[in-house]
């Protein structure tokens, strides 16, 4: 019986939406241009280099630049268990804003802000799958031709959001080399809200009870960013960037109500998932990233791009109070292309493959990082010599993962619009 109640308690577990990018918590869609061409690590452009290749800013025209935009992500996450599908619709805006100044000598100062991790909010209105491992209860359910879904009613919400701001400087070392360094602040919020109620009348009051949890975990952290840019020819450019690990010590503020006998539901929940207990302090870091990419101008109108990221997940502490949570390092590879169709219009296209480093043994209904393929396209419109507009469309195709009799799926798309203004 105790084992069954513990499993029912796990219904309340929510860690929030995992990133719809390439790593466990990280996202990479910092800008709208990434949503049209994700291979930005070695790019030299006005809207995205400040995020993905800040050392390359020294190769832009002198002036003060203001860039901004918003992407809107939408889609569905679902879990299929014992023939029943549990789904949650998701939607989220992803804004970005930056200001940077390129001086006559090629040195530059930059400031960026926007999302760096997490993702959209999720709401499982019809609950999430729960398995009971009690022969007694399962035997009663079989005799009554019932499933646990028939007697367990639940409502689960989860959300993760990480925001960043970065201040940095760029030094032009010579005509081919430039370097950058910056300091970054990160604010993380991980929220969960869940309710569970046993409709015990069908089991003749054999088991009964309800419970709810409203929990919020917050953390602040600081890291640094280093970059190098090398342009061996007028057509080839190579960018390198290292984003340090950001240590985030989350503190939990939670309220729990429980009407079950001796509060067994909440007691067993917090034994298994102690990070949700009120007042708990536990680290869940953002891993370090090593990025490398190149762009090559094939013709005066056509430029190709390649880039990759490596995520040092193993070195980061991620809720290790839960000893079963372990990750491999993650990586991703991107390709892209930009073609100038007219003096004002350019067409962008790109793709990405991501291996998150996540393992199935720690999947939960609202947090499971699946490997993915992404395709993207968009257009740039150069209104005049100092103003540029951008639109993008992105579609993520996630691998399907089956673990512990549950099949996990995701389908996420995004659209975006952005601008760049030079003064």
Per-residue pLDDT tens over the stretch 236-294: 999 999 999 999 999 999 998 888 766 766 776 677 667 878 898 989 999 999 999 99
**pLDDT higher at 371 or 267:** 371
| Host domain of residue 10 | 2-422
Total domains, the chain: 1
Who's near 203: CB < 8 A, 6+ residues apart?
A: 137, 140, 141, 144, 151
- Per-chain mean pLDDT for the chain: 86
Using alpha carbons, select from 66, 120, 127, 113 the residue that is nearest to residue 93: 120
Using alpha carbons, select from 382, 384, 378, 398 the residue that is nearest to residue 71: 378
- Residue 159 pLDDT more than 70? yes
pTM of structure:
0.88
- Residue 4 pLDDT more than 60? no
Confidence class for position 165, pLDDT limits 50, 70, 90: very high
What's residue 12's pLDDT?
47
Confidence class for position 19, pLDDT limits 50, 70, 90: low
Q: What is the CATH number of the domain that holds 38?
A: 2.40.160.60
Give dist(CA 94, CA 114) in Å, integer.
8
Confidence class for position 385, pLDDT limits 50, 70, 90: very high
Give dist(CA 197, CA 214) in Å, integer.
15
- Region 35-52: what's the mean pLDDT? 97
């Amino acid at each position: 019986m105790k084992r069954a109640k513990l499993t029912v308690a796990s219904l309340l577990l929510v860690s929030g939406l995992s990133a719809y990018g390439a790593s466990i918590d990280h996202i990479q869609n910092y800008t709208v241009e990434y949503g049209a061409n994700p291979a930005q690590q070695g790019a030299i452009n006005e809207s995205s280099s400040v995020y993905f290749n800040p050392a390359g800013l020294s190769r832009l025209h002198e002036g003060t630049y203001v860039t901004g935009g918003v992407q809107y992500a939408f889609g569905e996450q679902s879990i299929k268990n014992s023939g029943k599908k549990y789904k949650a619709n998701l939607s989220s805006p992803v804004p970005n804003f930056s200001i940077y100044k390129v001086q006559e000598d090629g040195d530059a100062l930059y400031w960026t802000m926007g999302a760096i991790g997490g993702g959209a909010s999720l709401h499982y209105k019809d609950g999430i799958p729960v398995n009971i491992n009690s022969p007694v209860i399962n035997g009663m359910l079989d005799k009554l031709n019932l499933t646990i879904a028939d007697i367990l009613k639940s409502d689960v919400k989860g959300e993760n959001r990480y925001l960043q701001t970065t201040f940095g400087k760029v030094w032009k070392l010579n005509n081919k080399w430039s370097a950058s360094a910056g300091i970054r602040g990160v604010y993380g919020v991980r929220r969960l809200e869940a309710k569970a109620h046993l409709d015990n009348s069908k089991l003749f009051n054999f088991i009964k009870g309800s419970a709810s949890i409203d929990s919020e975990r917050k953390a602040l952290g600081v890291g640094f960013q280093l970059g190098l840019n090398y342009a061996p020819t007028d057509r080839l450019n190579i960018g390198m960037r290292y984003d340090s690990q950001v240590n985030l010590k989350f503190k939990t503020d939670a309220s729990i109500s429980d009407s079950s006998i001796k509060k067994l539901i909440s007691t067993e929940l917090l034994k298994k998932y102690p990070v949700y207990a009120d007042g708990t302090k536990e680290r869940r870091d953002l891993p370090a990233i090593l990025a490398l990419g190149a762009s090559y101008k094939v013709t005066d109108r056509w430029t190709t791009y390649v880039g990759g990221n490596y995520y040092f997940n193993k070195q980061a502490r991620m809720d290790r109070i839960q000893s079963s949570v372990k990750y491999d390092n993650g990586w991703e590879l991107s390709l892209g292309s930009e073609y100038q169709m007219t003096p004002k219009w350019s067409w962008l296209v790109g793709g990405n493959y991501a291996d998150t480093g996540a393992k199935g043994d720690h999947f939960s209904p609202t947090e499971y990082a699946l490997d993915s393929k992404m395709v993207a396209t968009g257009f740039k419109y150069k209104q005049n010599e100092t103003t540029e507009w951008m639109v993008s469309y992105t579609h993520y195709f996630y691998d399907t993962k089956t673990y512990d009799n549950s099949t996990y799926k995701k389908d996420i798309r995004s659209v975006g619009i952005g601008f760049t203004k030079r003064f």
